[in-house]
Amino acid sequence: GAVVSQHPSRVICKSGTSVKIECRSLDFQATTMFWYRQFPKQSLMLMATSNEGSKATYEQGVEKDKFLINHASLTLSTLTVTSAHPEDSSFYICSASGLDIPEVGEQFFGPGTRLTVL
């Protein structure tokens, strides 16, 4: 199957700083990437959908000015958590779908990024 990577795998930062998380499709062109957030013992919650070359679509309740998403190329999407606070501490997961994937419509998930804000 297709491979999606995330970097970093875990990050610890001070309150008020900004953190950038990268999501890469390694062996396919990702026309669409999704960003999810998962709190302990809970399910994945969709934050936003990003299509290459266009602005991301955010879910209700997700602050677009706080969670900046850029999908400038077919292999890379970034999520920047601006002015992070302890309540932003969570597990952030991206998924990708796109062209030249044998399994039509299938999405592939990254390994996730554990963000801890002190």
Partner 1 sequence: LAKTTQPISMDSYEGQEVNITCSHNNIATNDYITWYQQFPSQGPRFIIQGYKTKVTNEVASLFIPADRKSSTLSLPRVSLSDTAVYYCLVGDLTTSGNTPLVFGKGTRLSVIA
- Encoded one letter per residue, x for contact with partner 1 by CB under 8 A and - for no contact, window 76-105 reads ---------------x-x-x-xx--x--xx
Q: Which of 1, 8, 16, 53 binds partner 1 (CB under 8 A)?
A: 1
| Cβ density class 23-42: b for 16+ within 10 Å, e for less | bbbeebebbebbbbbeeeee
- Least separation, in Å, of the C-beta of 15 and partner 1? 23
Can you tell me whether residue 88 is helix, strand or coil? helix
Q: Is 61 in the site for partner 1 (CB under 8 A)?
A: no
Q: Which of 46, 53, 85, 116 binds partner 1 (CB under 8 A)?
A: 46
**Gap between the Cα atoms of 14 and 2, Å rounded:** 34
